[in-house]
Chains A and B, each alone.
Chain A
């Protein structure tokens, strides 16, 4: 039997999600699948579109890969819009050709509404929906000073933030009397406005634009109906979206009065072979302008095409939680209290800029809706009360009062019914999570992989973790964070014990807080904590036995028991004289020599007894230890920078050297790598490092928590256009917070992913100082920087410490017989094992 044809029009978020679901289902075998996308890009994450302005590329935002499409047998037609549908012959036409279908899926999304204002076609007027829109806005912002967003809704404020990040003075013009009229009430809108104005975005409400004309000093002038005007260099329209239903109209499908392709509960249109999902679809008279309902439609349709009788779309929750210009805003359910008999509980702290409102049912038992501005900590709990119809507690107002006033008893995961939706993006309920745990998942990562919970917008991460932890506990799985059998504490707890009680030795700590004699897990971990807290020499008598062999001998042990030597070469900059010394030492001791991936030189094959002599020579030539053996700063890679490179905008080499010298003495839970690039071309690969710095023409952009290695992760943009001082202060805080709170052998990437609240939380702590520990973190770093010593220098100068480097204490002349050598490519190397 020949295969039938399935065609999807629109390669956006929902269309892609549909293909993922459908391709994995049995029915996929019966179809040839084709997808047409008007945009030239593969489907990308539009929700995070604005990140395109802060460093993300299409590749970061992309939702799939061309390989995935190919492997799934889906033919991709990108940059090829469908221009017509013929329902009689079941064909679609594009500028390239025509194609027949048996089933057709419309996933054409929506388009931005531009009010019919005279002058709106001016080339400095834009919309905010696609990567191309953003490219155009970015280009136009060059050389401009002011930007105006028309529309003070959710997207408009996001666009205003984007304009601000492009260095423009941003204004928002809103027709309604308040911001976010759909989600917020007057009081909430007022608090939001105040906060946003404090951030430097000017808000103009109750303004109707009548015409846009050429400006005098600026590119444009907007005239308003009240005879006032505003001068600007560019305008972004964000006045709402309209369903993209043109094709459906042309071929005569049922269309809603105000647009939208009418669909039934199975996402099928008035033609049984044509279906519509996502923002173009009108269900029950409603359009859903969020991604989660679109995903639900996609899943419903995939199931319906598999003849699943029960598949049905039954509406979706439109609650939203977001951070606009750094301000928390949340809106749940019937936020405006339109349910008959509904009553309100309000909390309004104008001083702090916190506003919260609960809409409760007439009998006071159920939560119908809520609004919050300024602090979204209350959101998760309120959402669960509203979605699951959980009875409100007595004194329901405690749910929105600040914690200090008696405190909101947060709804424990136990109180949630089995049907509670935990992740709305992927429609995962508490039952699904329990199911995953029962079928063998043993931790959060497993549950995520199995259910996909928390892999969409990420808003449910904290809740998911709570539910998983509590369910694991119920199953008797002790969520054990003890570091090992000798200490009933996590690394973080040990850190506190050491710091608070001023404990300076392992022996002191294990006597007081542990049992037994320690092991190779707790000893190095405590050694690292002691080093971070007190910064004594790691070979001091009390600390020697704690160190891994590499730390004990300040060098990396190789497979045959010899060691490698990696002197520090800050920023990769080295004088010819120093290079010559490296060469001489390597030649004299017959050391295999290799340039590392970290912009320095590694000398291999030194015996234990040779290490101190070799280091004596290196130190005399001005070298310092490179900590290649330690859980500490490795290298700060740098590019060429503005001194030589024609594109460089800052001195990346100078900054790299500065950072390397500043942090070289810091002991940490795992190794730390950094890089500094002199411009956006990023030759130093800073975005793959724990700390990445990229020069801008105004200063430095800071990226954090990247990782190469076994599980690569791009670093996240953390702060932009920092001055030198701001950069250093921010890195001080991030690193110190990491060093204090991470688990043993946890790189910054994994640490951050495991922080409850993730990147946002880290930003709060570091940039907003939400825990009030900023100054303390900086001081602690200052201490460590101030007490730096080159460990090798101290070691070679101290005869007691040098004694440690005898290969056989009773036979100084003896060479280790198992170290056998041969020559390869003109250098000495160990003989390969015979096995």
Chain B
């Protein structure tokens, strides 16, 4: 099995909510996209799936920073996930996937790795 990546446009800047998250659907599943206007870079994307409950909710958590690390708190059971590494602060053995984000004019693009079952031409 081989993967290739591509930059998918997932939403517009006007869809973003400052200091909070929104969820988008990608070929890799649901992704949570956060906009923290006071930081550089300001855009972060991690999986929307909360690994502790299996539910798609992370975009609806509260954002902030702990010891300088940008985080989101799961709205269900309140664990914190680093927006940079996807690592769970309470349990470093748990990690959620992280996605690279690109601002292309008014569009927000995510780097999505697409699994390909057959060999590409």
The answer to whether B73 touches A803 (Cβ under 8 A) is: no
Contact of A545 among B10, B15, B18, B57 (CB under 8 A): B18
Q: How far is the CA of A550 from the CA of B53 in the complex (A)?
A: 17
The answer to whether B62 touches A810 (Cβ under 8 A) is: no
Q: Give per-residue flags for B71-111: 1 if the beta carbon is below 8 A from chain A beta carbons, else 0.
A: 10101101010000000000000000000000000000000
Given A516-B68, A545-B19, A559-B76, answer yes or no on A552-B60 (Cβ-Cβ < 8 Å).
yes
The answer to whether B76 touches A808 (Cβ under 8 A) is: no
Q: Which of A504-525 contact B (CB under 8 A)?
A: 516-520, 522-524
Given A545-B17, A545-B19, A808-B24, answer yes or no on A519-B64 (Cβ-Cβ < 8 Å).
yes
- Cβ of A228 under 8 Å from chain B: no
Q: How far is the CA of A561 from the CA of B74 in the complex (A)?
A: 11
Q: Give per-residue flags for A794-825: 1 if the beta carbon is below 8 A from chain B beta carbons, else 0.
A: 00000000011011111100101010000000
Given A519-B71, A804-B17, answer yes or no on A818-B39 (Cβ-Cβ < 8 Å).
no
The answer to whether B25 touches A808 (Cβ under 8 A) is: yes
- Cβ of A548 under 8 Å from chain B: yes
Chain A residues, CB < 8 A from B70: 517
The answer to whether B53 touches A548 (Cβ under 8 A) is: no
The answer to whether A523 touches B64 (Cβ under 8 A) is: yes
Q: Give per-residue flags for A542-578: 1 if the beta carbon is below 8 A from chain B beta carbons, else 0.
A: 0011111110110001011100000000000000000
Given A517-B36, A559-B76, answer yes or no on A545-B62 (Cβ-Cβ < 8 Å).
yes
The answer to whether B60 touches A549 (Cβ under 8 A) is: yes
- Cβ of A391 under 8 Å from chain B: no
**Chain A residue at minimal CB-CB distance from B75:** A549
**How far is the CB of A407 from the nearest CB of chain B, in Å?**
44
- Cβ of A478 under 8 Å from chain B: no
Chain B residues, CB < 8 A from A806: 22
Q: Give per-residue flags for A520-548: 1 if the beta carbon is below 8 A from chain B beta carbons, else 0.
A: 10111000000000000000010011111
Chain A residues, CB < 8 A from B19: 517, 544-545
Q: How far is the CA of A23 from the CA of B53 in the complex (A)?
A: 48
The answer to whether B23 touches A808 (Cβ under 8 A) is: yes
**Chain B residue at minimal CB-CB distance from A524:** B62
Contact of B15 among A552, A803, A814 (CB under 8 A): A803
Given A519-B71, A561-B56, A810-B25, answer yes or no on A545-B38 (Cβ-Cβ < 8 Å).
no
Q: How far is the CA of A816 from the CA of B60 in the complex (A)?
A: 14
The answer to whether A818 touches B65 (Cβ under 8 A) is: no
**How far is the CB of A669 from the nearest CB of chain B, in Å?**
17
Q: How far is the CA of A561 from the CA of B62 in the complex (A)?
A: 15
Chain A residues, CB < 8 A from B57: 549, 557, 561
**Chain B residue at minimal CB-CB distance from A562:** B55
Chain A residues, CB < 8 A from B66: 485, 519
**Chain A residue at minimal CB-CB distance from B36:** A517
**Chain A residue at minimal CB-CB distance from B71:** A519
Given A808-B25, A809-B23, answer yes or no on A549-B55 (Cβ-Cβ < 8 Å).
no
The answer to whether A818 touches B54 (Cβ under 8 A) is: yes
- Cβ of A309 under 8 Å from chain B: no
Q: How far is the CA of A548 from the CA of B78 in the complex (A)?
A: 10
- Cβ of A67 under 8 Å from chain B: no
Contact of A553 among B18, B60, B80 (CB under 8 A): B60
**How far is the CB of B100 from the nearest CB of chain A, in Å?**
17
Q: How far is the CA of A809 from the CA of B17 in the complex (A)?
A: 12
- Cβ of A363 under 8 Å from chain B: no
Q: How far is the CA of A810 from the CA of B76 in the complex (A)?
A: 24
Given A517-B38, A548-B75, A808-B30, answer yes or no on A557-B60 (Cβ-Cβ < 8 Å).
yes
Chain B residues, CB < 8 A from A809: 10-11, 15, 22-24
Q: How far is the CA of A550 from the CA of B54 in the complex (A)?
A: 18
Chain A residues, CB < 8 A from B76: 557, 559
**Chain A residue at minimal CB-CB distance from B15:** A809
The answer to whether A518 touches B11 (Cβ under 8 A) is: no
**How far is the CB of B69 from the nearest CB of chain A, in Å?**
10
The answer to whether B25 touches A814 (Cβ under 8 A) is: yes
Q: How far is the CA of A667 from the CA of B20 in the complex (A)?
A: 22
Q: How far is the CA of A653 from the CA of B78 in the complex (A)?
A: 39
Q: How far is the CA of A566 from the CA of B64 in the complex (A)?
A: 30
Chain A residues, CB < 8 A from B71: 519
Q: Give per-residue flags for B1-44: 1 if the beta carbon is below 8 A from chain A beta carbons, else 0.
A: 00000000011000101111011110000100000101100000
**How far is the CB of A554 from the nearest CB of chain B, in Å?**
12
Of the A-B pairs whose beta carbons lie under 8 Å apart in the complex, a sample of 10, sorted by A's number, is: A517-B65, A518-B65, A522-B64, A549-B61, A549-B62, A553-B60, A561-B56, A809-B11, A810-B24, A818-B54
| Known interface pairs A559-B55, A561-B56, A807-B23; 17 further A-B residue pairs with C-beta atoms within 8 A, sorted by A's residue number | A516-B64, A516-B65, A519-B65, A519-B66, A520-B64, A523-B62, A541-B18, A545-B17, A545-B20, A549-B57, A550-B75, A553-B60, A557-B75, A561-B57, A803-B15, A809-B10, A809-B22
Closest 8 interchain pairs by CB? A549-B75, A545-B19, A519-B64, A520-B73, A561-B55, A811-B25, A520-B62, A545-B20
